[in-house]
Amino acid sequence: MTRKLRMGMIGGGIGSFIGDVHRKAAAIDGMIDLVCGAFSSDAEKSKQSGKALFLNDDRCYTDFKEMILTEKQLPEDKRMDFVAIVTPNHMHFEPAKMALENGFHVVCDKPMTLTLDEALELEAILKRTGKLFALTHNYTGHPMVKQAKALITNGDLGKIRKIQVQYLQGWLSTSVEKTGQKQASWRIDPKRSGIGGALGDIGTHAENLVEYITGLKIDEIAADLGVFGEDRVLDDDGNLLLRMENGAKGTMSISQIALGEENNLAIKVYGEKGSLEWHQENPNQLITHWLENPVKVFTPNGNDLYPEAINVSRIPAGHPEGYLEAFATIYKNFATHLMAVKNNKTIENPDYPTVNDGVRGMQFIYAAVASNQDNSTWTKIK
């Protein structure tokens, strides 16, 4: 291709945290331009948001249906190539379905849908339409996460035996939703969040990180979920035991009421020949221990990195890369794949989360809720 990809956005209007993150991440590698949007369910707010982003008035739409149908009628050299969906969970499925069925590729925030049935239907639509779909499990975009995955894929750690993962936050330690805090209000509401609270918001990140790094599926879980916030009905805390498909054992701890924690996502993986650990709050270090060699700490642009890590390290060694850059990696790899498709080329095993990861995330949520309701009984993820 001789041009940038054109992106439309659904959601992410004035005051949105995640919409701004998506826009910045999409722009980092210079492959994507935002050209249109339906930024709010409030028509006037949507128009104001588009104006604030310096979009042409005729590309600022009152709702996503108008945007998709109007963009479809535009000449091919003007209309959007794909849409980014950055709404609360209950507003993922309908616009994704409509976009795909009208010929547009999709990038969607996680969890993929409100319900498992929606996730399975979306998977079927992707198979039917042949369009591309990226799910923004952004933490898989870190160079040191890529390095961790490559170490395991290439057998450096040997057979995996044990996994520990945690995702701890403290921002829901008090009833902030009762103060009108927008991010909290929809996340504690089953009608907008789904059957999982912390499970859907951060648990799916932990689940995806485990399966991405190890290349192993979680086979069974035993979940003990907690609801500590006053008048809440969805989980805001949980501890889970994991059984992996290769026989490895694991633990997962998630919480949004862990007072003092900010965004403490961390994973440790133990194999027969070595182990590794990675902490999201210190993302540029991957610490490894070896049966017969000294401790080794990998850093972006350091020595002995696999190509998967080198390819997403953007800046010189010693300069920190973080949240936005990891998010940008999802967009970069998706954009690279989409450009290849438009040039009638094939990319084997494109490296970004897809609809399959979205289905796994919803299956994880449903299995955890079912296990918790049955006194933490071992439950298959299926």
> What pLDDT score does 1 carry?
72
Same domain for 63 and 192, yes or no, is: no
| Residue 93 placed within a domain | yes
3-state SS class at 167: strand
| Residue 346 placed within a domain | no
- Going from the C-alpha of 304 to that of each of 158, 278, 351, the distances in angstroms are 18, 17, 21
What is the model's pTM? Answer: 0.96
C-alpha 65/C-alpha 71 separation (Å) is 10
> What pLDDT score does 318 carry?
87
Assess contact for 111 and 357: CB atoms under 8 A: no
> What pLDDT score does 302 carry?
84
Closest listed residue to residue 243, CA positions, set 186, 161, 155: 161
Same domain for 161 and 97, yes or no, is: no
Q: Which of 71, 99, 131 is the last residue of a domain?
A: 131
SS3 letters for 241-252? Answer: EEEECCCCEEEE
The domain total for the chain is: 2
- Going from the C-alpha of 273 to that of each of 153, 157, 252, 294, the distances in angstroms are 13, 5, 23, 12
Same domain for 14 and 162, yes or no, is: no
Q: What are phi and psi of 60, to 5 degrees?
A: -105, 110
Q: Residue 211 corresponds to which amino acid?
A: E
| Residue 333 placed within a domain | no
> What pLDDT score does 145 carry?
98
Indicate which CATH number applies to the domain containing 14. 3.40.50.720
Same domain for 79 and 108, yes or no, is: yes
Same domain for 119 and 176, yes or no, is: no
> What pLDDT score does 149 carry?
98
User: Terminus-to-terminus CA distance in the chain, angstroms?
Assistant: 40
Assess contact for 86 and 7: CB atoms under 8 A: no
> What pLDDT score does 303 carry?
84
Same domain for 56 and 16, yes or no, is: yes
Same domain for 74 and 111, yes or no, is: yes
Q: At a CB cut-off of 8 Å and minimum separation 6, what does 133 contact?
A: 96, 100, 105, 106, 107, 108, 122, 126, 354, 355, 358
Closest listed residue to residue 94, CA positions, set 111, 80, 114, 79: 114
**Sign of the torsion formed by the C-alpha atoms of 29, 30, 33 and 34:** positive
> What pLDDT score does 301 carry?
86
| Residue 337 placed within a domain | no
| Residue 288 placed within a domain | yes
Assess contact for 240 and 199: CB atoms under 8 A: no
Same domain for 74 and 152, yes or no, is: no
pLDDT digits (tens, 9 = 90+) for 154-174: 999 999 999 999 999 999 999
DSSP assignment of 85-148, as one string? E-S-GGGSHHHHHHHHHTT-EEEEPSS--SSHHHHHHHHHHHHHH---EEE--GGGGSHHHHHH
C-alpha 121/C-alpha 107 separation (Å) is 17
Same domain for 101 and 162, yes or no, is: no
| Residue 354 placed within a domain | no
Same domain for 208 and 106, yes or no, is: no
| Residue 137 placed within a domain | no
| Residue 327 placed within a domain | no
Residues of the domain holding 68: 5-131
pLDDT digits (tens, 9 = 90+) for 320-329: 889 999 999 9
C-alpha 243/C-alpha 24 separation (Å) is 38
C-alpha 359/C-alpha 127 separation (Å) is 13
The owner of tokens 């969970």 is 89
Residues, the chain, total?
A: 382
Q: Which of 78, 103, 131 is the last residue of a domain?
A: 131
Q: Which of 89, 111, 131 is the last residue of a domain?
A: 131
> What pLDDT score does 360 carry?
98
> What pLDDT score does 382 carry?
86
Indicate which CATH number applies to the domain containing 242. 3.30.360.10
| Residues of the chain with confidence (pLDDT) below 70 | none
Assess contact for 12 and 34: CB atoms under 8 A: no
Q: DSSP letter at 219?
A: E
Closest listed residue to residue 106, CA positions, set 303, 353, 288: 353
Same domain for 271 and 370, yes or no, is: yes
Same domain for 121 and 175, yes or no, is: no
